[in-house]
Amino acid sequence: MARTASLSGFPEWLPQERLVELHVLDTLRRVFELHGFSSIETRAVETVGQLLRKGEIDKEVYGLSRLQEDEEEARAAKGDHHALALHFDLTVPFARYVVENAGYLSFPFRRYQIQKVWRGERPQEGRAREFTQADIDVVGDGELPFRYDVEIALVIAEALSALPIPDFRLRINNRKLAEGFYRGIGLDDTAGVLRSIDKLEKIGAEKVAELLKSELGASDEQARLALSLATIRTEDTSFVDQVRALGVSHELLEEGLSELEQVIEAAVQRAPGKVLADLSIARGLDYYTGTVVETVLVGHDQLGSICSGGRYDALARKGNRTFPGVGLSIGVTRLVSRILSQELAAASRSVPTAVLVALNNDDSWTGAQDVAAQLRARGIATEVAAKAEKFGKQIKFADRRGIPFVWFTDDDGKHQVKDIRSGEQTDADPASWSPPAEDLNVRITTA
C-alpha cells in the first residue's frame, strides 16, 4: 500500500481494503453471537470524571469543547469533571453502562462491543490515534464463576482462528499466581514488581533485576526468584511443577496456580497449540485481579499484543454491589493494518456488484431496472448502466470497476449474460440465472 493517511494516526481504507475490514468485523460478530454475546454500543464520549474514576489515566485522552464556546466557558470546562472526552477503551464505558443499566440487564451479562476508540499518542506502526476495538466481556452481579475465564479464552481463540491472520498465541498468566509468589518471597509491593516485570521484553532481565533491587529494595535472591518465575513458559500444565520447583508457598499462589491450570488444561484440549502459560505477562498498570492475557501473532512480535484483557474482581461498583467481570479486547485496526500492509488477505473484487445490466439504448433503462430488480430479489448485487454507450464501453466500465458479469437484453427481449473475464456469453433468464457461488458475493482470500 503506497498510500499514507492524510492525518497521521487516523487510518482510512480504500473500498477494497474496507472489504477486508468488514470481513474481519463480520467474522468476529458471527463468532461472538454464536456464543451468545449480545451487541451493545456506548456513546463515544464520557465525562472526564468517569475516565478518571480509577484515579489515573495513563492514556492520552482527547477532550471535547464546542468550537463556538467563548473563553469563559472554555476556562470553566478546563479541569471540570463534567467536561466531555472521547473514550480511550471500551472497558471504562462498559463498566459505566453496567452500573447505569443494572436494573435492565440479566446477569451474568455477556456482551460484545465493536467500536472506535481514541488516544492522542504518538502514532507508529501498529498504534493509531483512532482505532477499532472488539471486546467481549462477561460480567456478574456479586459473583462470576471462574469458568467464564476459561470460556472467554476459548471464544477468543475460536474468533481469531476464523480470521485471515497468521498463527497466534494467547499468552496467559494469573495475577494471583504472580502476587502470591511475590508475597511468598517477601516482596509485598506486588504492583511495583508487576510494573518492573512488565518491562522484561523491553529492557531485559538484567535491568529488571536492577530495578527490583533499586526501586523495591529486593535482595539478589528475591530478584532472582521473581525473574525465574517470569521465564516460565509452557504449552501445557507443566508450568505448575516448574513453579513448585522454585520452592515458594503462599495461599494466593496456590489459588492462582489452580486457576491458570484450569484455563490451560481446557485450552490444550479445545484450542490445541493456540495457548501458552506465560508467567512473564503482567499487564502493567491495568487493574486485573486474576487471569491476564496478551496475544501475539507468530512472526509478528514487533506488532505488540493483538488481543489483551483479563479478570477484574470489580469491573464496576454500585453502592454495596460489585460486578466482577472477565473480558478480552481485540485490536481490530492493528490486525487489519497488518493484513493489508503485508497483503495477507485480499477481496476477490473491489465492489459488491456481481452484474452490470447494460443499456441497449436510452429507452431501455426501465427494462434494465426490471432485470436488475429480479436479480437483486435473489440476492445478486446488480447495477444498471447510466448511459447507453457502445457495448464495448459499457463492458470496459464493468471491467474497470471489477464487476465480473454484464447483462444484455436485445430489442426482442432476449437476455444474455457475459462473463467478462472469460468472454463467455450465454443465454440467461433474469428470473432464474445465478452467478457461480464463488462470484455471488465478495470473498476474502488469504495469500
Residues 410 and 360: beta-carbon distance below 8 Å? yes
d(CA 27, CA 21): 10
Q: How far is the CB of 223 from a copy of itself (least distance, A)?
A: 34
Q: Determine which residue in the list 81, 122, 321, 376 makes contact with a copy of itself, applying CB under 8 A.
A: 376
Q: Determine which residue in the list 291, 337, 382, 409 makes contact with a copy of itself, applying CB under 8 A.
A: 382
Cβ-Cβ contacts under 8 Å for 437 (sequence gap 6 or more): none
d(CA 83, CA 94): 19
Q: Is 288 annotated as a binding residue?
A: yes
Q: Determine which residue in the list 151, 259, 278, 439 makes contact with a copy of itself, applying CB under 8 A.
A: 151
CA gyration radius, the chain? 27
DSSP 142: S
Q: Which stretch binds a copy of itself (CB under 8 A): 249-257, 382-390, 420-428, 432-440?
A: 382-390
Binding mask 110-129 for a copy of itself (x = CB under 8 A): xx----x-x-x---------
Q: How far is the CB of 107 from a copy of itself (least distance, A)?
A: 9
318: number of CA atoms within 13 Å, CB side?
Answer: 14
Is there a cis peptide before residue 324, judged by omega within 30 degrees of 0? no
Residues 98 and 139: beta-carbon distance below 8 Å? yes
User: Does 97 engage in binding with a copy of itself (CB under 8 A)?
Assistant: yes
**For a copy of itself, the closer CB: 361 or 366:** 366
Site for a copy of itself in 297-316 (CB under 8 A): none
User: Does 351 engage in binding with a copy of itself (CB under 8 A)?
Assistant: yes
Cβ-Cβ contacts under 8 Å for 110 (sequence gap 6 or more): 35, 36, 37, 38, 136, 137, 138
Local structure of 200: helix, strand or coil: helix
d(CA 403, CA 351): 7
Is there a cis peptide before residue 108, judged by omega within 30 degrees of 0? yes
Local structure of 384: helix, strand or coil: strand
Q: Which stretch binds a copy of itself (CB under 8 A): 63-71, 171-179, 223-231, 410-418?
A: 63-71
Q: How many residues at the interface with a copy of itself, by CB under 8 A? A: 83
Q: How far is the CB of 6 from a copy of itself (least distance, A)?
A: 5
Q: Is 133 annotated as a binding residue?
A: yes
Cβ-Cβ contacts under 8 Å for 279 (sequence gap 6 or more): 173, 177, 178, 229, 230, 231, 232, 233, 239, 243
Site for a copy of itself in 9-48 (CB under 8 A): 10-15, 18-19, 22, 33-45, 47-48
d(CA 239, CA 226): 15
C-alpha angle 135-9-120 in degrees, rounded to nearest 5: 75
Q: Is 148 annotated as a binding residue?
A: no
Binding mask 402-421 for a copy of itself (x = CB under 8 A): xx------------------
Q: Determine which residue in the list 365, 416, 419, 420 makes contact with a copy of itself, applying CB under 8 A.
A: 365
Nearest one of 311, 22, 26, 276 to 152, comparing CA atoms = 311
Q: How far is the CB of 146 from a copy of itself (least distance, A)?
A: 9
d(CA 181, CA 221): 13
User: Does 335 engage in binding with a copy of itself (CB under 8 A)?
Assistant: no
User: Does 443 engage in binding with a copy of itself (CB under 8 A)?
Assistant: no
Q: Specify burial of residue 391 (Cβ count, 10 A radius: 0-12, 13-18, 19+).
A: middle
**For a copy of itself, the closer CB: 33 or 251:** 33
**For a copy of itself, the closer CB: 32 or 182:** 32
Cell triple for 21:
475490514
Site for a copy of itself in 154-173 (CB under 8 A): 154
Q: Determine which residue in the list 6, 302, 320, 432 makes contact with a copy of itself, applying CB under 8 A.
A: 6
Q: How far is the CB of 276 from a copy of itself (least distance, A)?
A: 21
**For a copy of itself, the closer CB: 62 or 287:** 62
Residue 355 CB neighbour total at 10 angstroms: 26
**For a copy of itself, the closer CB: 120 or 435:** 120
User: Does 366 engage in binding with a copy of itself (CB under 8 A)?
Assistant: yes
Q: Which stretch binds a copy of itself (CB under 8 A): 81-89, 175-183, 293-301, 418-426?
A: 81-89
Q: Are strands 275-278 and 168-174 parallel, antiparallel or unpaired?
A: parallel
Q: Determine which residue in the list 55, 56, 106, 429 makes contact with a copy of itself, applying CB under 8 A.
A: 106
Q: How far is the CB of 71 from a copy of itself (least distance, A)?
A: 9
Cell triple for 278:
506465560
Binding site for L-histidine, by residue number, is: 89-91, 119, 133, 137, 283, 287-288
Binding site, by residue number, is: 89-91, 119, 133, 137, 283, 287-288
